[in-house]
A and B are shown apart, each in its own frame.
Chain A
Amino acid sequence: MKTINKYILVLGLIALVGCSNDYLNTEPVTELTENNFYQTPEDAWTALVGCYDGLQVATGSNAEGFYTISEVMSDDCFGGTGNSDGFGYQAMDEFDFNRAPGSANLLAGAWKTYYAAMNRCNVLISKMDQINWSGNEDLRNQYESEVKFIRAYLYFDMVRIWGNIPLLTVSTAENLPQADPSEVYTLIAEDLLFAANNLPNQTYNSVPNGRVTRWAAKSLLARVYLYYTGYYGQSDLAGLVTQGEALAHLEDVIAFSGHGLVSNFSNLWPAASLTEYAGEDNQEVVFSIKYTHTSDYDGNTDGNHWMVMFGMREFSSFPYGNGWGVTVNSKLYDLYNENDTRRTSTIIAVEEDDIPFDNQAGQREYTGYYNKKYTPMVDEEGSSLAVLVGGTNFMIGQFQDYFAIRYSDVLLMAAELGSGSAQAYFNQVRQRAYGDNFTPLTVNQTNLMNERHLEFALEGIRYWDLLRQGVSVAAAEIAESTTLLNGGVETPKNITSGNIQTTQGLSQIPNTQITLSAGVLQQNAGWQ
């Protein structure tokens, strides 16, 4: 036998016996996988940031997301938008699918990104035991609290928007039916209680702005309590939190968090205060979702993509930038007393502020009023501030944070829940608003709800404050029959209370998801 043949034979034998199964089933060494990630506290931190990012994308990347629908469906805003646009915003505004029969997937982006964020949270929570925490048990409690807060925040948005949603606590591709809302609220309450009890008892500024604090968890818990007991007519929060307990959490926030009111209401809002702006980390911000200008079209989604919806329609006038023109109901402007500093901080008033707006032709449902709390801005030359700080453009580059919970909300919620200091808390909020023109008003439920409207208008809160007083109260407040200018032409505008009663104030579940579920998911009433 030739030598070469012997070599071939030997090599062949090696080849036959040399490959074990382990060798063939390789795992990537350069790529992170579920198996080699989630090992150390550092991995847990990175995954937690991924959950914050998920929250940012879910709430920020969709023009039609939680904030937008909260305003468009409320009594404060009309659908507006461009006079040649589709009628999707009118369908939301009027609770009427027939208004835009093509809008079968109005909130598809929100549905997808909320569940995407949810999966990040569920996976991290399920990996908590797999991570080696030795010596860092405190860190585990903190991270687990933060991720549970984020999960609760996501579910609370979703269960308010859609009412009937599949409830997932672990990562799964299963085709799940919608859960009873009480089950969703049970999970929300459990997660928030965990966070409220396990996050460090330290002042809010001990951690960087944006991180979840004990005080954020306690405040959100009270908001959930008020919504669940109100909308569903229950006496407590899923058997887990009583009114007294919800109040006690708020009193803790008031006593120990270090939060306080910013002295001028207008300083909370960049467009209302300009150089006087109190900043995104001001003492009044109990929890905010943070956005920045680094969104691009290569996959980075860090910006506030809904704010452009609220700018004046394709018209800018320093300091107000152009946008797509969701309009504000003139009734909101008229609601404010002229001594109330919140009026000019909340609303851009074209006529009253002498703004030379001339794009009636492009604007649908023109009212003469726009949102000042969340509006794109321009400099004196008319250049977009978002672009000037480095944003891709004025649409995705908006970087203003969403103030989800302000300290004044903590005060008013505590007053509503029957605090012994209710009158003092109520006065504190009103004194800030009226300054030297303050005149006292007795705290009671009617005055409180009215004050909440004035204080939180255009902050994504009003609609839910209406619904938690009962669907019929909300329907009566939101129903509208008026005349608005569509492209400069007077056009009747009707929002019927019947549609709000039919839908119970809930939104359309994306029809594509219903198709994919083969009918396991059920569409909400009024949106078929």
Chain B
Amino acid sequence: MTNEEFLQDKLNWLNYFKLRASWGQVGNQNAGAFQYLTRIRTANTNYIFGTEEGTLTPGAYPYNLSNPNLQWETAEEIDLGFDARFFNSKLNVNFDWYRKEQKDWLVQAPILDTAGAEAPWINGGSVINTGVELALSYNNRVNDDFSYNVSFNGAYNKNEVGSIPTGDGIIHGPINQLWDNSLEFFRAEEGHPLGYFWGYETAGVFQTQEQVNNYVSDSGTMIMPTAVPGDLIFVDRNGDGIITEADKTEIGDPNPDFTYGFSLGANYKAWDFSLQANGVAGNQIVQSYRNQSGAYQNWTTQILDRWHGPGSSNTLPRVTLDNRNYNKFSDIYVKDGDFLRLSTVTLGFDIAKASKRKNFFADQLRLYFSVLNLYTFTNYDGMDPEVGFGISEGSYNFSSGVDLGYYPRPRTYMMGLNVKF
């Protein structure tokens, strides 16, 4: 717009302004060939007749359910934004508003085992992301000796699942993920964020038997009659007086509301300095480091602060051989995942520049020291809040924010020398 007559050279603080608007569609057919047919499988299908061990007769069976209506998945995006430069182009601003909709999402959603065959690929509904992105940068050259730049970018995103065309409007996450025999703990459901965590809401830990006895439904029956002091208090959300699957609810959202980053850079004479940082806010992480199917697996030291008598803990329940408080997926596994990480810091010194000798043997002789992953500001008590991990089974790529205790990223110190002739 700064090239238009009505703006050209009119405002001395505005050097450049451009409005952008775009719309696009991209297709994806990443579902394998011939998924619309029922395929016959012969591999690994044998029976033994007679008495000669190891002598197999080959067989065949229908492997998958077909979906004759299978079609492309479409990603549609609308983007409105502007780019601008102010104050002699020292300040750069980019702003975008977007709405991305993934339609006819290709997914192999789990089906009932009674179907007796592999689930068909379906066009599983839609996922909508809306948000704004803002990038600011400021470059200033104070004099020949000193210059600096500051930049910031941030994005606010809202993630929501649209209609899901399965029987119950849900794409269920897989089982046996957090520990042996663990149940589904994330899912995609209309009106909820993608891959939200689904489990029991808790209201602390029973401190006394009296408290167990007083935890009653509207009709006066005990809601958790087999509980003893030290057990978790599960919330009876539907008020039917018992704790069942129907009381499970959304207890966390793995998708950050806000992701941001900033960088600082400065040059002073022969010295140079740079810093980069990034962070997220508003997401939750599922932290599960222990196989809760047996009695003898290791705990983290956190368990030392568990409930072990009235008043000792209202967050970590007692420990039992059968793990009864820990093998039901509840909000005690869900933690806030906000963090700010200083990802790179570099300090350099150029000997060539410092020497000021015209006939120095090199154009640049820069000695630098840098640290990767210097420090992370977070309240997350796990090893690394930047898990970037989900349960992925090929057809299940909608999970994120699951911390299974994989090795955290290391802090790296580097020293180096750049020489240019």
B405 on the A face (CB < 8 A): no
A511 touches B60 (CB 8 A): no
- Is the contact region of chain A dominated by helix, strand, or loop, or is it mixed? loop
Q: What is the bound-complex CA distance between A116 and B328, given in angstroms?
A: 29
Known contacts A84-B294, A279-B51, A515-B184; decide if A123 and B62 are in contact (CB<8 Å).
Answer: yes
A528 touches B244 (CB 8 A): yes
For A27, the chain B residues whose CB sits under 8 A away are 34, 37
Q: What is the bound-complex CA distance between A222 and B207, given in angstroms?
A: 58
Known contacts A120-B61, A302-B46; decide if A84 and B328 are in contact (CB<8 Å).
Answer: no
> Closest residue of chain A to B117, judged by CB?
A119
For A105, the chain B residues whose CB sits under 8 A away are 175, 181, 183
A137 on the B face (CB < 8 A): no
**Partner-binding segment picked from A229-237, A250-258, A291-299:** A291-299
For B50, the chain A residues whose CB sits under 8 A away are 208-210, 281
A119 touches B115 (CB 8 A): yes
B245 touches A514 (CB 8 A): yes
Give residues of chain B (300-341) contacting chain A, Cβ–Cβ below 8 Å. 321-324, 327-328
1/0 per residue, CB under 8 A from B, across A108-147: the answer is 1001100111111011000000000000000000000000
Of B46, B183, B245, which contacts A53 at CB under 8 A? B46
A102 touches B292 (CB 8 A): yes
Known contacts A27-B34, A37-B40, A120-B116; decide if A294 and B54 are in contact (CB<8 Å).
Answer: yes
1/0 per residue, CB under 8 A from B, across A48-79: the answer is 11111110100000000000000000000000
Q: What is the bound-complex CA distance between A378 and B117, given in angstroms?
A: 37
Known contacts A104-B183, A512-B175, A512-B184; decide if A37 and B60 are in contact (CB<8 Å).
Answer: yes
For A209, the chain B residues whose CB sits under 8 A away are 49-51
B114 touches A49 (CB 8 A): no
A116 touches B37 (CB 8 A): no
Q: What is the bound-complex CA distance between A298 and B46, given in angstroms?
A: 14
16 additional contacts (CB under 8 A) given A176-B114, A280-B51: A27-B34, A32-B60, A49-B58, A104-B181, A108-B113, A119-B61, A168-B114, A168-B116, A172-B115, A173-B65, A209-B50, A210-B49, A281-B50, A292-B56, A294-B54, A511-B245
B62 touches A171 (CB 8 A): yes
**Partner-binding segment picked from A93-101, A346-354, A411-419, A420-428:** A93-101
Known contacts A119-B117, A290-B49; decide if A47 and B60 are in contact (CB<8 Å).
Answer: yes
1/0 per residue, CB under 8 A from B, across A271-291: the answer is 000000001110000000011
B62 touches A46 (CB 8 A): no
Among B57, B111, B184, B226, the most chain A Cβ lie within 10 Å of the Cβ of: B57
Supply 28 A–B pairs (Cβ within 8 Å), ascending by A.
Answer: A31-B39, A33-B34, A33-B37, A34-B39, A34-B62, A46-B58, A49-B60, A52-B47, A86-B322, A87-B322, A100-B322, A102-B181, A108-B175, A119-B115, A122-B116, A171-B65, A171-B117, A172-B115, A209-B50, A210-B47, A210-B48, A291-B48, A294-B56, A510-B113, A512-B184, A513-B113, A516-B168, A528-B242
Of A50, A173, A281, A514, which contacts B59 at CB under 8 A? A50
1/0 per residue, CB under 8 A from A, across B18-46: the answer is 00000000000000011001111111111
A28 on the B face (CB < 8 A): yes
B83 on the A face (CB < 8 A): no
Give residues of chain B (259-274) contacting chain A, Cβ–Cβ below 8 Å. none
Of B44, B296, B324, which contacts A301 at CB under 8 A? B44
Known contacts A37-B60, A290-B48; decide if A46 and B112 are in contact (CB<8 Å).
Answer: no
B293 on the A face (CB < 8 A): yes
Known contacts A27-B34, A27-B37; decide if A46 and B324 are in contact (CB<8 Å).
Answer: no
- A482, chain B: closest CB distance, angstroms: 20
Among B45, B182, B226, B324, the most chain A Cβ lie within 10 Å of the Cβ of: B45
B38 touches A33 (CB 8 A): yes
A33 touches B47 (CB 8 A): no
For B182, the chain A residues whose CB sits under 8 A away are 102
A337 on the B face (CB < 8 A): no
For B220, the chain A residues whose CB sits under 8 A away are none
Of A33, A111, A116, which contacts B40 at CB under 8 A? A33
Of B54, B56, B175, which contacts A389 at CB under 8 A? B54
A86 touches B293 (CB 8 A): yes
B4 on the A face (CB < 8 A): no
1/0 per residue, CB under 8 A from B, across A298-318: the answer is 111110000000000000000
Give residues of chain B (216-240) contacting chain A, Cβ–Cβ below 8 Å. 226
A residues neighboring B (CB under 8 Å)? 27-28, 31-35, 37, 43, 46-54, 56, 84-88, 98-106, 108, 111-112, 115-120, 122-123, 166, 168, 171-173, 175-176, 208-211, 279-281, 290-294, 298-302, 389-390, 399, 510-519, 528
For B244, the chain A residues whose CB sits under 8 A away are 528
Known contacts A86-B322, A105-B175; decide if A517 and B47 are in contact (CB<8 Å).
Answer: no
Q: What is the bound-complex CA distance between A136 and B158, given in angstroms?
A: 65
- B38, chain A: closest CB distance, angstroms: 4
B241 on the A face (CB < 8 A): no
Known contacts A115-B114, A294-B46; decide if A54 and B61 are in contact (CB<8 Å).
Answer: yes
Cβ-closest 7 pairs across A and B: A119-B116, A49-B59, A102-B327, A50-B59, A32-B40, A50-B61, A34-B38
Known contacts A37-B60, A49-B46, A50-B61; decide if A101 and B328 are in contact (CB<8 Å).
Answer: yes
A50 touches B60 (CB 8 A): yes
A35 touches B37 (CB 8 A): yes
> Closest residue of chain A to B37, judged by CB?
A33
B34 touches A47 (CB 8 A): no
For A115, the chain B residues whose CB sits under 8 A away are 113-116
For B49, the chain A residues whose CB sits under 8 A away are 208-211, 290
1/0 per residue, CB under 8 A from A, across B170-213: the answer is 10100100011111100000000000000000000000000000
B5 on the A face (CB < 8 A): no
Known contacts A105-B183, A172-B115, A515-B245; decide if A52 and B59 are in contact (CB<8 Å).
Answer: yes
Q: What is the bound-complex CA distance between A115 and B58, given in angstroms?
A: 21
B residues neighboring A (CB under 8 Å)? 33-34, 37-51, 53-62, 65-66, 110-117, 120, 167-168, 170, 172, 175, 179-184, 226, 242, 244-246, 292-296, 321-324, 327-328
Q: What is the bound-complex CA distance between A52 and B120, given in angstroms?
A: 24
A86 touches B62 (CB 8 A): no
For A104, the chain B residues whose CB sits under 8 A away are 181, 183
A46 touches B60 (CB 8 A): yes
A166 touches B114 (CB 8 A): yes
For B175, the chain A residues whose CB sits under 8 A away are 105, 108, 512
Known contacts A115-B115, A209-B49; decide if A101 and B37 are in contact (CB<8 Å).
Answer: no
Q: What is the bound-complex CA distance between A510 and B45, given in angstroms?
A: 26
> Closest residue of chain A to B170, judged by CB?
A518
> Closest residue of chain B to A519, judged by CB?
B246
Q: What is the bound-complex CA distance between A32 and B64, given in angstroms?
A: 12
For B37, the chain A residues whose CB sits under 8 A away are 27-28, 33-35
For B110, the chain A residues whose CB sits under 8 A away are 516
- A147, chain B: closest CB distance, angstroms: 12
For A279, the chain B residues whose CB sits under 8 A away are 51
> Closest residue of chain B to A521, judged by CB?
B112
For A166, the chain B residues whose CB sits under 8 A away are 114
- A515, chain B: closest CB distance, angstroms: 6
A302 touches B48 (CB 8 A): yes
A101 touches B42 (CB 8 A): no
Among B56, B115, B117, B179, the most chain A Cβ lie within 10 Å of the Cβ of: B115
Q: What is the bound-complex CA distance between A106 and B37, given in angstroms?
A: 33
B111 touches A516 (CB 8 A): yes
- A168, chain B: closest CB distance, angstroms: 6
Among B51, B62, B66, B168, the most chain A Cβ lie within 10 Å of the Cβ of: B62
For B167, the chain A residues whose CB sits under 8 A away are 175, 518
Of A47, A85, A399, which contacts B294 at CB under 8 A? A85
For A32, the chain B residues whose CB sits under 8 A away are 39-42, 60
B45 touches A53 (CB 8 A): yes
For B114, the chain A residues whose CB sits under 8 A away are 115, 166, 168, 176, 513
A173 touches B180 (CB 8 A): no
For B43, the chain A residues whose CB sits under 8 A away are 299
